[in-house]
């Protein structure tokens, strides 16, 4: 058989622009020969199956077979194998993207698909060629566009998610929205648990919330974006988005993993969707939390939603209630902001139990191009939601001025009380978790 039709190659032997390169972490029983299994997987996920079939000709393989371009055992034994119960590898497979085109569902079917049921195999990264990513429009606004809308050129933005999460009528939400907005929230979003519920519909709440946004803008002299949650089944999610914009919302939100990542892309690519899109992370843990299987979080939470067109991506922060390694958190944020061919950089939005005293660490870790996601720390502030938002802004201003948050708290009662309340809440949460 011609080497060009084999399911393996040197890294230099493949055209980088013709392949999406997947990197996997693999744990295998010592008796398994990964150097034979990996090429078999490459065939299984491209041209063939577990048994030779007549239609899998050499001509078909030359263009369509996936190729193993690297198997790196860690530790990399050279002379003899010790007695071990497991051997671990990094495996790289190059998939011809002509097999699935410039789209995400069939790409994931190819690079994860049946492999996800193969035991301890975790997809660690995907390297996309420029020829592939140019088929995606990416974010309409991204970091630059949202800063322009809000006229905030530098500082971190503040997002509030209305709490309680759900169960309240639109009029109650309007008052909570107004208070958080007038205190200084740049963006206010629905909780991921509230979309177009019968007790609080988009038709009812969007006009009320936008009225509250206008009222707050008159007071504070700053614009507020409202990210209305349009998540639903197809085609209702698209109808919800168009309806939300007609009703006056200036931002929309989608639970992109439960609705489907291609729904996010459809919204971003639709010329009638003329507002930024906030992508929420719920369900992501089901894909990335296992250390041995699934898909690594920087792909699920960063690279894929950015490619699909999100302008802001919510992801877990390690400072609050989310169990997430800080190094993984920082790595994920970089996938949203670092150069990615022509795909625009987008806002990372760390979230999950974030309180005012954490602002210093947040900015040190991720810089100024972030949206700080805060819910309970605003709405549970002892002086009310407006004071909760003000306390965040006071903390942000202090850090940008090179001052400590504790020093700023001596000048601002809102910030001082937020620190005291946060420390108490954190202690209670830790006691609850044992």
Catalytic residues: 163, 280
Average pLDDT over residues 207-216: 98
CA–CA gap between residue 276 and residue 226 (Å, rounded): 10
Instruction: Write the CB contacts of 419 (distance below 8 Å, at least 6 apart in sequence).
Output: 356, 357, 405, 406, 409
Q: Which two tokens stand for residue 428?
A: 């209670």
Q: Can you give the residue ranges of every domain in the chain?
A: 3-133, 142-433
Please choose, from the candidates 134, 53, 66, the residue with its C-alpha nearest in 3D space to the C-alpha of residue 99.
66
Q: What percent of the chain has pLDDT over 70?
A: 97
- As a dihedral over the C-alpha atoms of residue 2, residue 8, residue 11, residue 12, rounded to 10 degrees, the angle is 0
E strand or H helix that includes residue 94: strand 87-96
pLDDT digits (tens, 9 = 90+) for 35-62: 999 999 999 999 977 677 888 888 888 8
CA–CA gap between residue 115 and residue 229 (Å, rounded): 33
Torsional sign, CA 24, 25, 26, 30: positive
Q: Which fold has domain 142-433?
A: TIM Barrel (3.20.20)
Q: Which two tokens stand for residue 320?
A: 């609050």
Would you say 166 and 197 are in contact if contact means Cβ atoms under 8 Å apart?
yes
CA–CA gap between residue 259 and residue 74 (Å, rounded): 38
Average pLDDT over residues 235-246: 97
pLDDT digits (tens, 9 = 90+) for 336-371: 999 999 999 999 999 999 999 999 999 999 999 999
pLDDT digits (tens, 9 = 90+) for 172-200: 999 999 999 999 999 999 999 999 999 99
* CATH class in words for 3-133: alpha beta
Residue 429: predicted pLDDT: 64
CA–CA gap between residue 124 and residue 106 (Å, rounded): 18
Average pLDDT over residues 414-419: 96
Tell me the CA end-to-end span of the chain in Å, nearest whole number.
61
CA–CA gap between residue 206 and residue 243 (Å, rounded): 10
Q: What percent of the chain has pLDDT over 90?
A: 88
pLDDT digits (tens, 9 = 90+) for 91-141: 999 999 999 999 999 999 999 999 999 999 999 999 999 999 999 999 999
On the question of pLDDT at 218 being above 70, the answer is: yes
Q: What is the CA radius of gyration of the chain?
A: 24
On the question of pLDDT at 427 being above 80, the answer is: no
DSSP code per residue over 205-216: HHHHHHHHHHHH
Average pLDDT over residues 308-327: 94
Q: Give strand pairing partners of 25.
A: 90, 122
On the question of pLDDT at 248 being above 90, the answer is: yes
Would you say 207 and 247 are in contact if contact means Cβ atoms under 8 Å apart?
yes
């Amino acid at each position: 058989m011609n080497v060009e039709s084999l399911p393996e190659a040197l890294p230099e032997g493949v055209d980088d622009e013709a392949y999406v390169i997947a990197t996997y972490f693999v744990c295998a029983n010592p008796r398994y020969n990964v150097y034979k299994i990996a090429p078999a997987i490459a065939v299984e996920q491209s041209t063939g199956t577990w048994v030779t079939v007549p239609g899998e000709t050499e001509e078909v393989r030359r263009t369509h077979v996936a190729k193993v371009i690297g198997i790196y055992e860690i530790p990399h034994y050279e002379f003899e194998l010790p007695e071990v119960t497991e051997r671990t590898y990094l495996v790289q497979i190059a998939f011809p993207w002509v097999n699935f085109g410039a789209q995400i569902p069939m790409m994931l079917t190819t690079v994860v698909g049946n492999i996800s049921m193969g035991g301890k195999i975790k997809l660690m990264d995907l390297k996309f060629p420029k020829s592939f990513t140019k088929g995606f429009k990416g974010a309409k606004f991204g970091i630059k566009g949202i800063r322009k809308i809000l006229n905030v050129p530098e500082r971190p933005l503040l997002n509030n998610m209305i709490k309680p999460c759900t169960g309240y009528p639109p009029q109650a939400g309007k008052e909570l929205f107004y208070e958080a907005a007038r205190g200084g929230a740049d963006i206010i979003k629905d909780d991921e648990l509230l979309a177009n519920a019968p007790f609080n519909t988009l038709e009812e709440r969007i006009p009320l919330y936008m009225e509250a946004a206008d009222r707050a803008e008159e007071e504070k002299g700053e614009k507020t974006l409202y990210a209305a949650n349009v998540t639903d089944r197809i085609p209702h999610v698209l109808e919800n988005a168009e309806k939300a914009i007609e009703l006056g919302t200036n931002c929309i939100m989608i639970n992109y993993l439960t609705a489907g990542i291609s729904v996010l892309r459809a919204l971003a690519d639709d010329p009638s969707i003329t507002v930024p899109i906030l992508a929420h992370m719920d369900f992501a843990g089901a894909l990335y939390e296992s250390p041995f299987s699934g898909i690594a979080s920087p792909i699920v939470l960063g690279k894929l939603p950015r490619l699909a067109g999100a302008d802001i991506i919510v992801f877990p922060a390690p400072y609050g209630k989310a169990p997430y390694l800080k190094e993984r958190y920082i790595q994920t944020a970089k996938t949203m902001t670092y150069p990615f061919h022509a795909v625009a950089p987008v806002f990372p939005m760390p979230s999950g139990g974030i309180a005012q005293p954490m602002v210093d660490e947040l900015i040190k870790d991720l810089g100024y191009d972030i949206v700080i996601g805060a819910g309970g720390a605003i709405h549970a502030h002892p002086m009310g939601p407006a004071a909760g938002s003000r306390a965040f802004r006071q903390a942000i201003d202090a850090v940008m001025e090179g001052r400590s948050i504790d020093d700023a708290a001596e000048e601002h009662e809102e910030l001082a009380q937020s620190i005291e309340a946060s420390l108490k809440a954190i202690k209670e949460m830790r006691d609850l978790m044992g």
